[in-house]
Amino acid sequence: MTSKFTVLLFVFALSLSNILLAQDSDTHHHHDSDYELGFSFGLNHLVEENETPLSAHIHLLRKLGDENIWERIALGLGYEHIFSEHTHYSVVGTISINPIWHFVFDVSPGVLITEHEGSNESQFVTHIELTYEFEVGEIGIGPVVGYGVSSEDNHYTIGLHIGIGL
């Protein structure tokens, strides 16, 4: 766990330094839209259960501003559902950073709820995602990879992200 945390901290620091040092304001965040409604559909690998189900994710993000560093950071809320043998869903808060080009780095802490043997269990979870978006009008579409970690559940995700500027 420590080595994963170190790698994530390094990626975050690199992202932040790129934001602070960026000279141009060419961001991907759906042109002039302040909000993004995003959807992701993917394939997950649940490590502890050795299962590979499908998932769906939805989020609503709002940019913090229109210039400098603020146009590269957005905050919002998200929901993820993993369609496995045992119900898995998460409600998260999201910090989204657009460090360079069309890359988007998201960190989403929240609550994971799992159903086992007829009862629901909840625990803290953190989702980390990296997306590369291609712009098609006001829509961003592209591949996404992610990692979700909690005290009892870890999963890897690969999928497709679609973001709509509102």
Model pLDDT for residues 54-105, shown as the tens digit of each residue: 999 999 999 998 888 888 999 999 999 999 888 889 999 999 999 887 899 9
Considering only residues 34 and 9, tell me which one the structure prediction assigns the higher pLDDT. Answer: 34
Whether the pTM exceeds 0.85: the reply is no
72 closest CA partner among 63, 81, 62: 63
pLDDT classification of 21: cutoffs 50, 70, 90:
very low
Domains of the chain: 2-165 (2.40.160.20)
**Residue 122: pLDDT over 90:** yes
**Residue 8: pLDDT over 80:** no
